Structures are given as structure tokens and as C-alpha cells.
Amino acid sequence: MAYAYDDQNIFAKILRGEIPNDTVMETEHSLAFRDIRPQAPQHVLVIPKGPYVTFDHFALEASEAEIVDYTRTIGEICKMMGIQPGEGGAGYRTLSNAGEDAVQEVPHLHVHILAGRPLGPMLMRA
């Protein structure tokens, strides 16, 4: 089943400038902004500007230019936040929820970058 993109989702509205956001970085194909309900001292969301619902949708259908821009933007944000373990930073977690089992709230691809405290185990035990 192909993905159907809902252009009324909250991140689509942010991209159109209909809702304000606390922008961290903007590039040709990507936008990064602070999460409105941060779950760590640093909590940034990175989204592609194109209409992609999930990571697999983006990874399979986005252009190479979009994929390179998006991936590099995530790297640049880690650098800007000073969280790269290879540069003496304390580390971070990236995650992207997709679909029902992952409880994806907003149906526009977003990678969370969480940092600034010990983040605990990867998943809660059921």
C-alpha cells in the first residue's frame, strides 16, 4: 500500500509557516526545530521539507539530494549541539517513530535528537 500524505498534519503547517516553531537549522530540503514537549534537556526534531510519512517512505522514495541534505543536517545539528561522542560530547539518541506500534503522533517523517541527560535503556520493557 502506498503512503498517503495528509497535508493538514502539524509539521506540514509548520513548513507552510502557518504555525510558529523554534527553528534550530534550515536547509534547502530540511528543517530542524525544538520539540514543544521536550523529553530531554535538548530535544530537536528534524524533518524533510518533502511530503514523506515515515523513515522507510523517505529512504525509498526521496531523491539523493534530499537524503544527503537530511542526513547531513542531522550531523550538523549534533555538531552544533556539542553532543558528538567523538568530539568529547556526552552522546545522544536519534529515533523515528513510524506507525501504530511505534505510536507515531505526527504523520510527517521526523527524527528526534535527544540529549543532555542519561537516556536510559533503548525501550521500555513491556
The contact set with ligand 5GP (CB under 6 A) reads 10, 19, 21, 33, 35-37, 45, 97, 103-106
Task: Outline where DSSP puts E strands in 5-92.
Answer: 23-26, 30-34, 42-48
Q: Is 110 a catalytic residue?
A: yes
**Least distance to ligand 5GP, CB of residue 64, Å:** 25
What percent helix, strand, coil does the chain show, rounded to 5? 25, 20, 55
From CA 30, how far away is CA 73, in angstroms rounded? 7
CB nearer ligand 5GP, residue 19 or residue 59: 19
CB nearer ligand 5GP, residue 33 or residue 70: 33
Which active-site residues does the annotation give? 110
